[in-house]
Amino acid sequence: MSTAGQNYLSASTGVRSWLLTTDHKRIGILYAIAVATFFLLGGIFALLVRTELAAPGETIMGQDAYNQAFTLHGVVMVFLVIIPAIPGILGNFVLPIQIGAKDVAFPRLNLFSWYIFMLGALMALSGWLVIGQVDTGWTFYTPYSAEGTSSVLWLTSAVFIAGFASIFTGLNFIVTVHKMRAPGMAWNRLPLFVWAIYATAIVQVLATPVIGITMVLLFLERLLQIGIFDPALGGDPVLFQHFFWFYSHPAVYIMILPAMGIISDLMGTFSRQQVSGYTFIALSSVAIAFLGFLVWGHHMFVAGQSALSSIIFSMLTFLIGIPTGIKVFNWVATMYKGSVSLKTPMLYALMFLFLFTIGGLTGIMVGVLAVDVHLHDTYFIVAHFHYVMMGGALIGLIGGLHYWWPKITGRMYSETAGRIAAVLVFVGFNLTFFTQFVMGSRGMPRRYHDYAGLLDQYPEFAAYNLASSVGSFVLAAGLFMILAYAVHSLVRGKKAPANPWGAVTLEWTHTGPIPDPHNFEKVPLVTRGPYDFHLADDVLGAAASASSESQDNT
C-alpha cells in the first residue's frame, strides 16, 4: 500500500496526477488555488470601489463602471470565494482525516464538483470579459435584472452551475459523516469542525436547489418573458426577492457555520482544554441551520411585504441570536482557566470572536423592524455583513489555514510575520468597516457611486469615506503580507513537526506525514473525545501530558 516516507504530495507527480486526482486532500488544494485566485480578483474590485469612494466626485471611474465593479466584487466574493472556501478547502482536506476515513464517500463526485465549480466560475468571469458587464448587484433584483444587459443570462447560468458544485459537496459530506466514520468515532466524539461542516452541508443540500430554480426562472424571464417576476408583464418582483432570500439567507450560514467550526477547534487546541459545552456547540450549529430557513423575510421589511409577515420574520430573526450566543459564550468559557497560547491561529480566533460578535449583534439590530426601516440600504448594512462575512467567515478561514498549514504543506511559517499581518488585518478591517457603521447610521446610502451631493447636509461623509478607503488598503497590505510569508514558507519554511500545536484530534495523531493514499496506516480505533487532552498520551507523549493541567494519569 503505502511506501514509507511518501505523502499525498509526492505519491505521484505531474499535471495529470492533479487534474484527475480523486484524493480528497489534493482536491482541497485545487480548491485552495482556485479560491485564492478569485479572492485576489474580488479584492481588486473592492479596492477599485473604495478608491472611487475615497473622495467625492469622480475619482477613477464613472457610474456605470462603478456599478459593474461592486456587482463583480459581490458576485465573486459570495459565490466564488466565501461559499466554496471552507468546505472546499478545509472541509475536503481535514474532514475525512478527522473522522478516520480513507476518503470521502464519493471521491469522483468530489472531483466532478470542483470541475463544475470551475466551469461556473469561468463562465461568471468570462461573461464579464466577453459578453458585457452586469450591474445589478449580487442580488440580481427584478425588474432591473429582467431588462438590463444580456450578460445577466450568462451570469445566472454561471450561478446555477456553481450551485451544483455546492450541492454535491454538501451531499458528499453528509454521506461521509454518516457512513465513513472510523470505529469508535461516535457522534459525540466528532470534532466540532465536523459538526459544523455537517450542519453546513444540510443547508447546502436544502437551500441551493432553490437558488438554482430561481436562476432558471430568471433566465427564462430574460429569454422568453415568462412574466413571473417582471411587473411589466404582470409578474411580481417581490416574489423574486422571496425566492432569492429563501436561498441567500440560509447561504449566509453556509458561509459562517464552517468558520464557527474552525473557531471551536482552535479554541480547544490553543486553550489546551475541553471545549466548553461541546454538545451545545454541536447542536447549536444544527439549530442555526434549521432556524436559518425561517427568517429570509427580514431582507424585505421595506419591499412591500405585509406588515404581519414583517413582524413574524422580525421575531423569528431574534431567535437566531440564541444558538449564536450559545457558541460565543462557550468559546469564551473555553479559554477561561485554560493555558491559552497566542499563536497566529489563535489570534485569528480571538479576532473572529470580536468581529463576529459585532456583526451578529448588529444583525439583531437590523432585525428590529423599526430600526431597519432607517438602516436598510445604508452603509450600516454593508458594515453588518462585512463584519460577519469577512470578519467572521474569512477570518475563520485564515485562522484555519494557519492552523492546518503545517499539516497541508509540511512546513512552518514565520510566527512573527504571522502576528504582524494579523495586527494589520485587524486594524485595516476595523478602519474600513467600523467607519461604515457610523456613516451608515447617519444615512449614507449603499451602492452610490458618488456622495458629493450629500456633503452640503452631511459634510462628515467625506472624512468617513476617506478613512474607510485608507483602511481597505491597510487590510490589503495585511493580506498580501500573508501571501508573501506563505510563499516564503513553501519555498524555505522550516520542516513542520507532526503536531506543532499539541492538538489531539485525529488528523494530528500521525507521527510523520499523512500516509498515502489512505490517510492512516491502519484504520484508527477511536477511544476518546476530540478535545480529551488528558487522555491523549498517545499523541502528546507522557511528558506533554504531565505539563498539562488536566492530566489524571500517565
Partner 1 sequence: MAETSTTLKHYFVSSAQQFDAAKMGMWLFLVTEVLLFSGMFVAYAVYRVWYPEVFELSSELLDWRLGALNTLVLLASSFTVALSVHFIQRNEKEKVVVLLLLTLLCALAFMVVKYFEYTGKWSHGIFPGAGFAPHGDYAAYYTPYAPQFFSIYFVMTGIHGIHVLVGMGVIAWIVTRAIRGHFSAAYYTPIELTGLYWHLVDIIWIFLFPLLYLI
CA distance 377 to 368: 15
Residue 25 binds Cu ion, judged by CB under 5 A: no
* CB contact set of 398 (below 8 Å; sequence gap of 6+): 348, 425, 482
Q: Which of 247-255, 406-414, 504-512, 518-526 is the region at the interface with Cu ion (rule: CB under 5 A)?
A: 247-255
Site for partner 1 in 325-354 (CB under 8 A): none
- Total chain residues near partner 1 (CB under 8 A): 41
Query: Residue 360 binds what, of Cu ion, partner 1, ligand HEM, none (CB under 5 to 8 Å, by partner type)?
Result: ligand HEM
CA distance 278 to 162: 33
Closest CA to 498 of 399, 411, 400, 402: 411
Query: Residue 4 binds what, of ligand HEM, partner 1, Cu ion, none (CB under 5 to 8 Å, by partner type)?
Result: none
Q: Which amino acid belongs to residue 309?
A: S
Contact by Cβ (8 Å): 395, 430? no
Contact by Cβ (8 Å): 268, 95? no
Helical segments of 336-458, H only: 344-367, 369-375, 379-388, 395-409, 415-441
CA distance 395 to 405: 15
Site pattern 371..390 for ligand HEM (x: CB under 6 A):
-x--xx----x--xx--xx-
Site for ligand HEM in 317-346 (CB under 6 A): 317, 320-321, 324
Site pattern 234..253 for partner 1 (x: CB under 8 A):
xxx--x---x----------
- End-to-end Cα distance, the chain: 34
Closest CA to 349 of 144, 501, 182: 501
Residue with Cβ nearer ligand HEM (102 or 442): 442
C-alpha pair distances (Å), 173 with each of 31, 176, 266: 16, 5, 21
Residue 249 binds Cu ion, judged by CB under 5 A: yes
Residue with Cβ nearer ligand HEM (263 or 393): 393
Least gap, CB of 244 to ligand HEM (angstroms)? 10
Select the residue interacting with partner 1 from 60, 186, 233, 483 (CB under 8 A): 233
CA distance 428 to 478: 8
- As a whole number of angstroms, the longest Cα–Cα distance in the chain is 76
Least gap, CB of 50 to ligand HEM (angstroms)? 17
- Where along the sequence are the contacts to partner 1 (CB under 8 A)? 101-103, 105-107, 109, 167, 171-172, 174-175, 178-180, 205-210, 212-214, 216-217, 220, 223-228, 233-236, 239, 243, 518, 523
- Where along the sequence are the contacts to ligand HEM (CB under 6 A)? 139, 252, 255-256, 298-299, 317, 320-321, 324, 360, 363-364, 366-367, 372, 375-376, 381, 384-385, 388-389, 392-393
